[in-house]
Structure 1
Amino acid sequence: MNKVIDYRDVELHRQDLIALRHVNLSVGEGEFVYLIGKVGSGKSSLLKSLYADIPIAGGEARVLDYDLNTIRRRDIPFLRRQIGIVFQDFQLLTDRSAYANLKFVLEATGWKDKSDIEARIEEVLRGVGMLNKSYKNPHELSGGEQQRIVIARALLNHPRIILADEPTGNLDPATGEAIVNRLHDIARQGTTVIMATHNLSFVDQFPGRVIKCENHTIS
């Protein structure tokens, strides 16, 4: 199995405080990983470090083909293009339709051909069961529907890694289950998925590897 993440004795800081230390983490292609731990335990810091939003303070860190200790600023967008991010609070553009949200991302990441853009948007929307609601603005969609659009957005550029930060936090239990099930489907198709969650029932219902953030480290 190809490694997509390789952290060795990594230390991360937030506002000059140690968020995590002695982080040893190796994740392979197509793995589904749960990241659990209390609020403030370092889950978000770890996820943000993976796409170079938080610098590596110590140790060795590789994500995909990039050394995070030496990555150049101009290369960070290329790393991020290979990582899809699913946020708890959706972060959709509220002034445009679901379709236009996805089109904006593709155009911002260098897609030019109109027919290619249309075909890719249709493909990801069909994959999350939202093709028939693509004309609606976010406020016209339920929380679960918005999260499906966010997953579609995360998949647009054929990412090798999906990072989901509490993706079910604002959803009812049944909708949350459907979202986690969809993320597991994505992992089965070969994309690595790392999901931070407070909800331990998902771990029983949809088994995956579990990593715990506690006492400023992981286990």
Structure 2
Amino acid sequence: MIRFENVGKRYGMGAEVLSDISFTLEPGSLHVLTGPSGAGKSTLLRLLYLDQRPTRGSVQMFGHDVTRLARRQLPAFRRRIGVVFQDFQLLDHMSALDNVALPLRIAGDLPEERIQGFVRELLSWVGLGDRLNAKPPTLSGGEQQRVAIARAVIGKPDLLLADEPTGNVDPSMAQRLTRLFVELNRLGTTTVIATHDLTLAESIGGARMQLAHGQLLAVGGGGGAPRVAGAPVPPQPADFGGF
């Protein structure tokens, strides 16, 4: 599904942030990306999201060499990718409900009544059922993070990328959100979660990708993701996002 071959990335004339990165992500696989601050985790996620192009090397995604795509072709690929950013990137002028509904409205496959039903259920499941009409500036960091996660998963993307997705929530909510990622992966979504939290990494399971000094030191280890013990079961695909 995704293949990096000898990928390097530098900004301007500086040293490479990523050097000779090679790996393959199989369809439906689950990976936990670890490494210290400055290792290049966020840059690697930006390359996966097609927000950045590599300085060198090849990136194959969904059957295409995306390094050769014209800019006008990128939006169609990005719609197949859900992203949870560290800085949330919510639209401040829109309510929580409208932020989460946006990917489904852009896709245009569902009537508004069904979209609102799916979004309300998912936001209730992440503990924001009473904050549907709140706008991001009035939400706490943890609440904004949950809105961002709901927006990323609502359309069941082919690829889900999450950058420190539980960094602003309490342990109970972190476990609940982790369950959401695990269950979405079980339904076929290829998932990459970047985290400093080794406890979270262990609870997720999956294969480990370790970055250090811009180089990928390890790929693999671990099998499929285990269920997260004691975490509430998230809404099933038929119940939100049309999957």
Give TM-score, length-normalised by structure 1: 0.86
* Alignment counterpart, residue 184 of structure 1, candidates 174, 179, 182: 182
CA-based RMSD of the aligned residues comes to 2.4
User: For residues 200 and 158 of structure 1, do their structure 2 counterparts lie closer, same or farther at Cα, with a shift above 3 Å needed?
Assistant: same
* Alignment counterpart, residue 4 of structure 2, candidates 7, 13, 21: 7
Question: Contact (CA 8 Å) 1:128, 1:151: kept in 2 or not?
Answer: no
Q: Which residue of 1 aligns with 2:30?
A: 32
Structure 2: 5+ residue stretches without partners: 218-243
How far off its partner does 1:151 sit? 1.7
Q: Which residue of 2 aligns with 1:16?
A: 13
User: For residues 14 and 178 of structure 1, do their structure 2 counterparts lie closer, same or farther at Cα, with a shift above 3 Å needed?
Assistant: farther
How far off its partner does 1:141 sit? 4.4
Structure 1: 5+ residue stretches without partners: none
Q: Which residue of 1 aligns with 2:72?
A: 74
Question: Contact (CA 8 Å) 2:49, 2:83: kept in 1 or not?
Answer: no
Q: Which residue of 2 aligns with 1:52?
A: 50
Matches within 5 A, 1:1-219: 4-17=1-14, 18-110=16-108, 113-122=111-120, 124-125=122-123, 128=126, 130-131=128-129, 133-139=131-137, 141-219=139-217
The amino acid that maps onto 1:183 is F
Distance in 1, Cα, partners of 2:81 & 2:189 = 10
Give TM-score, length-normalised by structure 2: 0.78
Worse overlay, 199-208 or 113-122 = 113-122
Distance in 2, Cα, partners of 1:76 & 1:37 = 29
Question: Contact (CA 8 Å) 1:88, 1:168: kept in 2 or not?
Answer: no
Distance in 2, Cα, partners of 1:173 & 1:119 = 28
Instruction: Give identity over the alignment, percent.
Output: 35
Q: Which runs of 4+ in 1 moved over 6 A?
A: none
How far off its partner does 1:114 sit? 2.8
Worse overlay, 107-116 or 199-208 = 107-116
Distance in 2, Cα, partners of 1:114 & 1:68 = 33
How far off its partner does 1:216 sit? 2.0
Query: Going by fraction, where is strand more abundant, 1 or 2?
Result: 1
Question: Contact (CA 8 Å) 1:89, 1:170: kept in 2 or not?
Answer: no
How far off its partner does 1:52 sit? 1.8
Worse overlay, 121-130 or 198-207 = 121-130
- In the alignment of these two chains, the number of paired residues is 216
